[in-house]
């Protein structure tokens, strides 16, 4: 059976994630060793024994989620479940680029380590006495309405960060800007605004310094043309070439993640069997909200975050 693999991003992490993959598969243990060699520290200890606060720091989160998601993909393949296409949510795009043949495994860990460190450093420069810069999920308003409110409000340093679902948008900003705009959004009809477990205002112009530094990191990395369909957060559609993928990796840091258009493109291209390959169930929830809102019938997103989940899929 073939699936479109959906890889989760930051916010999906939790202490102990992927331990069963590690215990189950020799190939996964080798993967963790590669990640540890790249990081110069024991990544398995970080993933399995790190605290929630440690895993929340983006320079830790990025390698932790990437190795766990790629571990899930290995176990999927070991059970005869291969990707027909790939898409990744924010950070998850790097696992998708590996699985689609764009980025080599020997490069991905150094890339996400550098990405995480750069994003953490730039984010901390944006912290103020009011608190750290970050992101907030706005519930109950359309992306268009949230964008309209942000454009018309007299609040600086806040932007649409991720178009999560038809009724949920994540905004990115400084601490004071988030507090100010959340009140305005609630007056405009938002049901709730929930601060996310991330440590910076990602996918916004506030990360422009990070984008410039990250472009230098990618300059000597090889980006191959995709060997199977892979979708971009920047355009919400398929990546055509390796050169495009490199450009999108930089643009993704400062641009709104187009997850709703990306889901539309996956369905448009006929990939109706999808699986959330990695920790958590965030993408399953977003997929359910999207299909319920825009399609005549709901299409399930299968969980593939544990060995037990994958065994169940393989038996269908």
- Is residue 90 annotated as part of the catalytic site, yes or no? yes
Tokens of 43: 């990544």
Contact 34, 107 (CB under 8 A): no
End-to-end CA distance of the chain: 9
Task: Find the catalytic residue in 36, 44, 69, 90.
Answer: 90
Closest-CA residue to 124 (of 211, 201, 213): 201
Q: Is 24 a catalytic residue?
A: no
Residue whose tokens read 């080798």: 30
Residues 6+ apart with CB under 8 A from 129: none
Scored b (16 or more CB within 10 A) or e, 27-50 reads: ebeebbebbbebbeeebbebbbeb
How far is residue 88's CA from residue 9's CA, in Å, rounded to a whole number?
A: 7
For 31, 62, 94, the CA distances from 306, given in Å and listed in that order, are 16, 19, 20
Spatial separation of the C-alpha atoms in residues 124 and 67, rounded to whole Å? 25
Catalytic residue among 36, 123, 136, 203: 203
| Residues 6+ away with beta carbon under 8 Å from 230 | 85, 86, 87, 96, 97, 99, 100, 102, 238, 239, 245
Instruction: Give me the torsion for CA of 207, 5, 311, 314, rounded to 10°.
Output: 180
DSSP string, 106-149: HHHHHHHHHHHHHHHHHHHHT-BTTB--EEEEEESS-HHHHHHH
Report residue 76: phi and psi, to 5°. -60, -50
Indicate which residues carry an active-site annotation: 90, 203
């Amino acid at each position: 059976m073939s699936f479109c693999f959906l890889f989760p991003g930051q916010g999906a992490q939790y202490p102990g994630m992927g331990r069963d993959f590690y215990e189950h598969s020799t190939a996964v243990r080798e993967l963790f060793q590669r990640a540890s060699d790249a990081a110069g520290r024991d990544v398995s200890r970080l993933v399995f024994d790190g605290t929630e606060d440690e895993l929340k720091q983006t320079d830790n989160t990025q390698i932790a989620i990437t190795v766990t998601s790629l571990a899930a993909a290995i176990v999927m393949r070991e059970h005869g479940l291969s990707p027909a296409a790939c898409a990744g949510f924010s950070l998850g795009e790097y696992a998708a680029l590996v699985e689609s043949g764009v980025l080599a495994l020997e490069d991905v860990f150094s890339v996400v380590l550098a990405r995480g460190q750069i994003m953490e450093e730039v984010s901390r420069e944006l912290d103020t006495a009011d608190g750290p810069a970050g992101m907030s999920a706005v519930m109950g308003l359309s992306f268009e309405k949230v964008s309209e409110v942000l454009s018309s409000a007299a609040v600086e340093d806040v932007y649409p960060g991720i178009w999560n679902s038809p009724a949920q948008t994540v905004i990115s900003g400084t601490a004071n800007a988030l507090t100010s705009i959340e009140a305005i959004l609630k007056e405009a009809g938002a049901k709730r605004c929930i601060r996310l477990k991330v440590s910076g205002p990602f996918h916004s112009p506030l990360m422009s310094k990070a984008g410039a530094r990250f472009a230098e990191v990618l300059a000597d990395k090889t980006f191959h043309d995709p060997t199977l369909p892979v979708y971009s957060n920047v355009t919400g559609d398929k990546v055509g070439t390796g050169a495009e993928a490199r450009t999108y990796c930089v643009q993704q840091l400062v641009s709104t993640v187009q997850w709703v258009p990306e889901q539309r493109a996956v369905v448009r291209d006929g990939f109706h069997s999808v699986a959330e390959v990695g920790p958590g169930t965030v993408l399953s929830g977003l997929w359910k909200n999207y299909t319920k809102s825009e399609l005549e019938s709901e299409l399930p997103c299968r969980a593939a975050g544990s060995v037990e989940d994958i065994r169940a899929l393989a038996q269908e």
